[in-house]
Chains A and B, each alone.
Chain A
Amino acid sequence: MGFTCWFLLGIADIAHSGSLPLSSIPVQAAFLAKFPRFIQWQNRKTRTPSSPFRFCVMGDTRFLNSLKSVTPETIRNHPVRIEWVDSVTQATACHILYLGSQTKNLKGVLTGLDGSQVLTVSDTGGFAEGGGIIQFVQFGTKVRFEINLTRARSERLKISAKLLRLAFKIH
């Protein structure tokens, strides 16, 4: 009898970790819109009061649409701008970059952004371990996130203790 039970659990553990289901996109977007409150960027990203705070999205148009409906007008008195980006060059100016499931050459994008102080976020399996900073994961029917603190530090992004406390896992 015990064998049957272990067998069932064994199967479950093989589960491949892909992207999260579509229904989680609005929730992920709502999380993303909240993150800036818990993160400090160095000043050089927003030099003047009128320079925008940039949310960028790559590889998922649906996420872009969801994000538009949940972001505030301003963040720390900077106007918020939501942009669709296709290349690393465009992305270096972003504060936050969401990399959707259609992103091509994810590794290459992450390497290309080295040192450009972009908070990279994705729901792709293995993202945080593989050099991304925040990865959404599914826990049951709820959305959680993992943080790669090492990478955040090397990008000189300061993450608040509260966000770290809520993280599902810290790499």
Chain B
Amino acid sequence: MGFRIYPVAIRWLLFVSICMAGIIIGDMARANDEETVELTPDELKELTLEELMDVDISVTIVSKKKEKLSQSPAGVFIVTREDIRRSGVTTLPEALRIVPGLQIAQIDANKWAITSRGFNEQFSNKLLVLIDGRSVYTPLFSGVYWDIQDTLLEDVDRIEVVRGPGATVWGANAVNGVINIITRHSGKTQGAQVTAGGGTREHGFGSFRYGDKLGDKGSFRVYGKYFNRDSFETTDDRDGFDDWEAVRGGFRLDWEQSESNNFTLQGDLYDGDSGQEAEIAQETFPFSEVVSEDIDVTGGNVLGRWVHTFEKGSRLEFQVYYDSANRKDSLLDQEIDTVDLSFQHQVQWHPRNELVWGGGYRLIHDNLEGTFASSFEPSSQTNHIVNMFFQNDFELVEDLFHIIGGTKASWNSFTEFEFQPSLRFLLTPGEKHTVWGAVSRAVRTPSIVENRFRFFADLSGGNPFFGTFLNLNGNSTSESEDLTALEMGYRFQPVKSFSFDATVFWNHYENLVTSEPLPTRFEFNPPATALILPLSIDNLMDGESYGVEVASKWKVTSWWQLAAGFTWLNLDLELQSQSADVISEKVEDNNPEYQFNVRSYLDLPYNLELDTAFYFVDDIENFSIPEYTRFDVHLGWQIVDWVRADVGLFNLFDPDHPEFSGVNRGITSTNVPRSAYGKLTFNF
């Protein structure tokens, strides 16, 4: 079955090759170096002419083009390399915990529920997550399998998080936010690095990375990593069978032949076992079984990007990737292959007008071998998504007022045409203040589950005579969920060492997914008899949410930094009058109403770093998860140039606590325990 996509993939790859060969014969170039560097005037003053020629005058975010953070007309937060190192985290999802507006909740040792601005679930489906431009949410649920999203954390340059709709430029699924994980240019990861460590939760982990030059115009790195993580305990103190082991390797190659042509080629391969305890329905008595098993996850991806800069400064970017993800447990054996092509062009076509426009095509082929409990009708399909977008930034009053408007038009196999426009303004009265506002529309197109799922959950309660099943059915006429969002933000930076950033938003949702009951029926399929309570996916719910997100940083002295984040969120869902759904409305209570965190980064003598973080997360009413606080400590010591030691202590004042529930997915959730680890890093 998997073969069917190759002819198409090869045709598209051929297209790319012809484009590249035809336009720049033999030209290869280094990918745009996307290091976020802010230079102070004092630093600028010290640079030589040659160094000045290398200064990048912007950073990427929000409009898929480079733009200064303080001038982004959106709710933006950047997790820096320093934040990742100083929080001591060992996984990507944990690195997101500091971001205001996001909800990060661990379900078991290898599963997270992560969302922006509400609707949290294991497969929160209104968030777009990208790693180096590759979309990593699964088209199955439109959610993210966080256990397979990984790389060397040392090689992550930054994580850019945009809360709120980013659909005009970023596309489908960017309804409530975009998370863009960006790895470092290979020229910045040269030499050999070896790490090794272990601890209470981390049974053992290690990694290597080697980077070198390729001639005088290119560079590359290769890496490999392995970890083995312990299981957590359930609320009733049993083992959760959620131990987690994975091995992963990859490469990145950057080439620059001329200053106008940059080329990047990168890829990863992984193989992992993610443990879980799950309840799975079966046709015959006892009608369900609790299994403790390892989900077998394997996959890989390869991505190529070409950036061409024209003499007059306009920039054309062309990207193609292939991604394959396979996942097998007792419920489902899934293979999903994706081929994606996109381009975007950024051009200043008038002194005060800058246009970004582009388009893309994505092909998704799935092969879903189900079981009685969970199957898909049909079990294999190929879907296509085509999109075009444009966004223009008009500087209405110089240095003071910008109007940014644009739309995305997309076509997909499920719901056909969708339009996602947005209109923003940016007001910069002086360098210290920035005010922005936006009104946007975004849609979330139905996932494979909403269209083709056949799911059975056991409600028999041990009845030996006949089974009782809740039966959820996808609906091929599912519609997109619609969002209209109003947002406003204010940034204040009175001095270089202090910044404050606040965002308020009001979201109005329509056509949210519901599960509508159909007539109950008896089925006689000897040897078993079953009472079926069927539900069908529909779009009969509306909702409103509003909230406040605040982030602040203060560099108290040259050796001490403080940072804080605050989130307040309220979500009200309301079923439409013709709906008879009894579960979907409860999702409004899947999120903590209040969250805040305070972090301190302290530099001590002898190259020591002592970092602490405190988190408060309000209760989650729907699952009766109580509020919790968490206190983490990280100690880093650069012993000599080439040896570094790190110690991480998590949940220091709390033996364990639950953060979320897996009950809606039949997954046994476990408690997040206190943990500690140590790590050594060698650089050669």
For B15, the chain A residues whose CB sits under 8 A away are 1
Shortest CB–CB separation between residue A60 and chain B, in angstroms?
9
- A18–B348 touching, CB < 8 Å: yes
Contact present for A1 and B44 (CB under 8 Å): no
Check if B347 sits within 8 Å of A1, measured CB to CB: no
Residues B53 and A144 in contact, CB atoms below 8 Å apart? yes
Interface: B23 (CB within 8 A): yes
B313 lies within 8 A of A70 (CB) = no
Interface residue range, chain B: 35 or more
> Could you tell me if A27 and B259 are in contact, using CB atoms closer than 8 angstroms?
no
Inter-subunit contact B309/A19 (CB<8 Å): no
User: Does A103 count as interface, using CB distance less than 8 angstroms?
Assistant: no
A125–B312 alpha-carbon span in the complex (Å):
9
**Contacting residues, chain A, for B54 (C-beta < 8 A):** 142
Q: Is the CB of A34 within 8 A of B351?
A: no
- Indicate if the CB atoms of B66 and A30 lie closer than 8 Å: no
CB distance from B13 to the nearest CB of A (A): 12
- Residues B260 and A69 in contact, CB atoms below 8 Å apart: no
Interface residues on A, range: 35 or more
Expressed in whole angstroms, the minimum distance between the Cβ of B46 and any Cβ of chain A is 9
Does residue B41 face the partner (Cβ distance < 8 Å to A)? yes
A19's nearest neighbour on chain B, judged by CB, is: B351
A30:B45 contact, CB within 8 angstroms: yes
Q: Which of B23, B259, B260, B348 contacts A15 (CB 8 A)?
A: B348
B22 within 8 A of A: yes
Question: What is the distance, in angstroms, from B19's C-beta to the closest C-beta of chain A?
Answer: 4
Q: Chain B 334-360, CB within 8 Å of chain A: the 1/0 string?
A: 000000000101011111101000000
Pick the interface stretch among A3-11, A44-52, A87-95: A3-11
- CB nearest neighbor in B for A13: B310
How long is the Cα–Cα vector from A26 to B298 in the complex, in angstroms? 48
Q: Which of B41-65 contact A (CB under 8 A)?
A: 41-42, 44-45, 47-50, 52-58
Check A8–B316 contact: CB distance below 8 A: yes
Asked if A142 meets B55 with Cβ closer than 8 Å, knowing A2-B22, A33-B45, A101-B398, the reply is yes
CA distance A33 to B49 in the complex (A): 10
B259 touches A12 (CB 8 A): no
Complex Cα gap A21–B316 (Å):
17
Residues of B within 8 A of A161 (CB): none
Candidates B41, B44, B311, B351; contact of A16 at CB < 8 Å: B351
Q: How far is the CA of A87 from the CA of B260 in the complex (A)?
A: 39
In the assembly, what is the distance between CA of A76 and CA of B627, in Å?
A: 66
Contact with A along B254-266 (1 / 0, CB 8 A): 0000011000000
Neighbouring B residues of A101 by C-beta, 8 Å: 351, 398
Measured CA separation A12–B56 after assembly (Å): 21
Complex: A128 Cα to B459 Cα, angstroms: 80
- Contacting chain B: which of A78-86, A110-118, A133-141, A149-157? A133-141
- Taking the closest CB of chain A, its distance from the CB of B631, in whole angstroms, is 39
Q: Counting CB contacts under 8 A, is B68 at the interface?
A: yes
Q: What does the 1/0 interface line of A17-37 toward B look like (CB < 8 Å)? A: 111111110110111011000
Chain A residues within an 8 Å CB radius of B260: 139-140
Q: Give the CA-CA distance A162 to B53 in the complex, in Å.
A: 14
Query: From residue 342 to 390 of chain B, which have CB atoms closer than 8 A to chain A?
Result: 343, 345, 347-352, 354
What chain B residues lie within 8 Å of A31 (beta carbons)? Answer: 49, 52
The answer to whether the Cβ of A143 comes within 8 Å of any Cβ in the partner chain is yes
Complex contacts, B53 vs chain A, CB 8 Å: 142-144, 166
Closest 6 CB pairs of A and B: A18-B351, A69-B41, A138-B313, A140-B309, A30-B44, A5-B19
Given contacts A18-B348, A166-B49, 6 further A-B contacts (CB under 8 A): A1-B18, A12-B347, A21-B58, A33-B45, A139-B313, A140-B313
> A-contacting residues of B (Cβ < 8 Å)?
15, 18-19, 22-23, 32, 39, 41-42, 44-45, 47-50, 52-58, 66, 68, 71, 259-260, 307-316, 343, 345, 347-352, 354, 398-399
Residues of A within 8 A of B (CB): 1-2, 4-6, 8-9, 11-24, 26-27, 29-31, 33-34, 38, 62, 66, 69-70, 72, 101-102, 125, 137-144, 162-163, 166
